[in-house]
Amino acid sequence: MKQQPALYGGQAVIEGVMIRGRRTVALACRKPNGDIYRYREPLRSPLVRSRLARLPFVRGVIVLWESLDYGIRMLMRSAEVQLDEEEQLGKGGNTLVMGVALVGALLLFIGVPYLATSLARSLIPSSVVLNITEGLIRLALLVGYLVAISFLPDVRRVFAYHGAEHMTIHAFEHGDPLTPERIEPYPTAHPRCGTAFLLLVVVVSIVIFAFLPRVNLLVDIIVRLALVIPVASISYEALRLGAAHERSPLMRLLVAPGLLLQGVTTRRPDARMIEVAVASLEEAIAGDREAEAAA
């Protein structure tokens, strides 16, 4: 069966890269002794089994949740590889970490902007202006956070692996051999990147939240939290549309801010980092082929 390169994507982890295929999740990372650690497991997702789950505006929610789940779990595994530990964090521990991270993100990007604009309510009577200001504060927090952590040496290495992941996917999608010398010319930015998705989520939320009435703290926060899912769904579909028609001038305009922001969240990798990204993609491709042969 012919592969569909556009379905491959992933994220950077500690000294490595995770790649998600159609039926496989793969991980490769550089061990302290210089060897490459390889791991893969079947993708257990309703997207594989259910047509309903693959419907537009439904699939985005599932992909977002699974990306958080697999992403944090593979991040933990990559940390354990660096410590030469065999035991993984249990499922309960993984859920706890994911829950804490999610709550922290919601407090920072939903709670803080709302409270900040609520303090100015007596000066700005218009709820539309307040809500747009709230969205702009959320956007500034996102960009500021990414810029701030980009100065940390360990994060810069993760961002370099992020670039290696994108470059490797670019080469695969163009049918080039997966060798460092053929991968190195490609850009570190990619239109389907999670950074672009986060930026779209913030922009879409500005548009949707702009017309929400302000009632009180409890009601307003609950409404915003409830709208996170539809905002994520719309953003995911917009990202897919932009990536599928990236040659269109309109779509280029849509994905341009996300590509620009990846100037912060990616770095040029070295050849050893690219080798790790290639190993992860090879594991994902091999796992998909085995799964399809057994189906």
Dump pLDDT digits (tens) for 182-196: 999 999 999 888 888
Residue 5 has pLDDT above 60, yes or no: no
Assign 6 a pLDDT band (cuts: 50, 70, 90).
very low
Residue 1 has pLDDT above 50, yes or no: no
Greater model confidence, 212 or 69:
212
Which tokens sit at 257? 């801010």
Assign 48 a pLDDT band (cuts: 50, 70, 90).
confident
What is the predicted pLDDT for the residue at 92? 55
Residue (of 134, 144, 136) closest to 113 by Cα position: 134
What is the predicted pLDDT for the residue at 100? 74
Give me the residue spans of the domains in the chain: 5-294
Residue 37 φ then ψ, to 5°: -85, 130
pTM: 0.86
* CB environment 272-287: b (16+ within 10 A), e (fewer): ebbbbbbbbbbbbbeb
Assign 30 a pLDDT band (cuts: 50, 70, 90).
very high
Which tokens sit at 248? 């269109």
Residue 292 has pLDDT above 90, yes or no: no
Rounded to whole angstroms, the Cα distance separating 99 from 125 reads: 36
User: How does pLDDT run across 274-284, given as a tens digit for each residue?
Assistant: 999 999 999 99
Assign 125 a pLDDT band (cuts: 50, 70, 90).
confident
What is the predicted pLDDT for the residue at 194? 85
Residue 4 has pLDDT above 70, yes or no: no
Question: Once rounded to an integer, what is the mean pLDDT over residues 114-137?
Answer: 90
Rounded to whole angstroms, the Cα distance separating 13 from 144 reads: 21
Half-sphere exposure of 129 (CA within 13 A, CB side): 7
> Distances in Å between the alpha carbon of 140 and those of 76, 112, 116, 157, 224?
29, 12, 13, 24, 18
Question: What is the residue type of 18?
Answer: M
Rounded to whole angstroms, the Cα distance separating 186 from 164 reads: 9
What is the predicted pLDDT for the residue at 7? 73
Rounded to whole angstroms, the Cα distance separating 192 from 177 reads: 21
Q: Comparing 24-28, 29-33, 243-247, 257-261, which segment has the lowest mean pLDDT?
A: 243-247
Question: Once rounded to an integer, what is the mean pLDDT over residues 194-208?
Answer: 89
Residue 134 φ then ψ, to 5°: -60, -45
Can you tell me which residue has the tokens 């390169």? 5
Pairing verdict, β 24-30 and 16-20: antiparallel
Rounded to whole angstroms, the Cα distance separating 283 from 275 reads: 12
What is the predicted pLDDT for the residue at 249? 82
| Long-range own/partner contacts, residues 140-146 (CB < 8 A, 24 or more apart) | 141/108, 141/109, 141/112, 141/113, 142/109, 142/198, 142/199, 142/202, 143/261, 143/264, 145/108, 146/195, 146/261, 146/264, 146/265
Rounded to whole angstroms, the Cα distance separating 295 from 146 reads: 42
